[in-house]
Amino acid sequence: MIDGHTRTCGLIGNPVEHTMSPLIHNTLAGLLSHNLVYVPFHVEEGKVQQAVEGAYALNVLGVNVTVPYKSQVMESLVEMDELAQKIGAVNTLVRCNGGFKGYNTDMPGLYRALVSEGIELEDQEVILLGAGGAARAVAFLCAVHQVKKVYMLNRSADKAKLVAEEVNSKSGRECIYPMALEDYQALPDQKFLAIQATSVGLYPNIEDVIIQDRSFYEKIHTGYDLIYKPRDTSFMKLVRQSGGKAYHGLKMLLYQGIIAYELWNEVSVPEKMAMQVYERLEREIYNEK
* Catalytic residue positions, numbered: 70
- The nearer residue to ligand ATR, 155 or 191, going by C-beta atoms, is 155
Instruction: Tell which residue, 261, 270, 283, has the closest CA to residue 21.
Output: 261
As a whole number of angstroms, the distance between CA 241 and CA 216 comes to 12
Contacting positions for ligand ATR (CB under 6 A): 130-135, 154-156, 159, 198-200, 210
DSSP 8-state code for residue 136: H
For residue 200, what are the β-bridge partners? none
- The nearer residue to ligand ATR, 36 or 163, going by C-beta atoms, is 163
As a whole number of angstroms, the distance between CA 69 and CA 90 comes to 8
- The nearer residue to ligand ATR, 60 or 102, going by C-beta atoms, is 102
Q: Decide: 113 and 89 in contact? Cβ < 8 Å.
A: no
| Residue facing ligand ATR at closest CB distance | 132
Give least dist CB 122 to ligand ATR, A.
24
Write phi, then psi, for 8 (nearest 5 degrees). -115, 135
Give least dist CB 253 to ligand ATR, A.
13
As a whole number of angstroms, the distance between CA 247 and CA 38 comes to 28
Give least dist CB 257 to ligand ATR, A.
17
Q: Decide: 255 and 109 in contact? Cβ < 8 Å.
A: yes
Give least dist CB 271 to ligand ATR, A.
28
For residue 247, what are the β-bridge partners? 224
Q: Decide: 216 and 210 in contact? Cβ < 8 Å.
A: no
- The nearer residue to ligand ATR, 114 or 226, going by C-beta atoms, is 226
Give least dist CB 89 to ligand ATR, A.
9
